[in-house]
Amino acid sequence: MTVTMVLRTDVGRILITGAGGRVATAFRQAMGDRYALRLAERDLALLRDRRPGDEVISFNIADLDACREACANIDTVLHLAADPAPDADFCGSLMDNNILGTFNIFRAAKDAGCRRVVFASSAQAVEGYPLDYQIRPDDAPKPKNLYGASKAFGEGIAAYFAHQEGLSALSVRIANFTTLSRGEQLSARDMSAFLSHRDAADLLDRCIRVEGVQYAVVHGVSNNRYTRLSLEETRRLLGYAPQDDAFSLLGFE
């Protein structure tokens, strides 16, 4: 397996949307000092932990002009902004934040000449598959809720811009992104879908830097004893080698 990565110093400026969210914060804490970052967030109070030198902008992702301003002079977009609630109201939130907002970011990134968009999809886009079936990246979306449907839409938008408009895009199906404590009680599904903070940061870093990828769906889970989402293809494409295992962290021998 040969995985080619662009050096961090050659990647250029990174825009992170939803920069105050949990996944973005984990990425910034682990990798932020290695990149030139522009942090886009509706609520700037969430960015009190930003590093000196980080550029900060307030924007509404449902506003295409605001997205165009955010993408100006950017090389790669890490698109993490969304309403992540499984029971989010479709018309009241998902339509603007997850549907229109995702289109706006891809449209603005393409028009601004960005190199790539890394899109935070979700395991919820494929959660409708049986629990005893290990989901692969080329499996069709099968959401169990409207949040998952909104992420399936985002994967479609990413594929369209990659294949029809030439903008490199990776859709990352982020699973159970959380922290674990020994003895904590979790369902077998949640353990198999666990994604640690350090594995998430490493995965997103690899998505930003990998060369020669026009479009791909990759899976965001840790090195769990059993993984709800297959890691075979993601390991091969990115050289991803997650370090954490929910079963070990919870004390299962």
In a domain, 68, yes or no: yes
In a domain, 23, yes or no: yes
Predicted pLDDT of residue 149:
98
Confidence (pTM): 0.95
Q: In CATH, what number is assigned to the domain containing residue 38? A: 3.40.50.720
In a domain, 2, yes or no: no
Percent of the residues in the chain that have a pLDDT greater than 70, as a whole number: 99
In a domain, 1, yes or no: no
Q: Are 74 and 14 in contact (CB under 8 A)?
A: yes
Q: What residues form DSSP beta bridges with 116?
A: 76, 168
Q: What is the mean pLDDT of residues 39-61?
A: 93
Check pLDDT > 70 for residue 253: no
Check pLDDT > 60 for residue 1: no
Q: In terms of Cα–Cα distance, which of 172, 168, 38, 20 is closest to 81?
A: 20
Domain of residue 67, residue span? 8-249
Other beta carbons within 10 angstroms of residue 225's beta carbon come to 11
Planar angle of CA 29, 189, 140, nearest 5 degrees: 90
pLDDT category, 184, cuts 50, 70, 90?
confident
Number of domains in the chain: 1
Q: What residues are annotated to the active site?
A: 147
Q: What is the mean pLDDT of residues 124-130?
A: 97
pLDDT category, 227, cuts 50, 70, 90?
very high
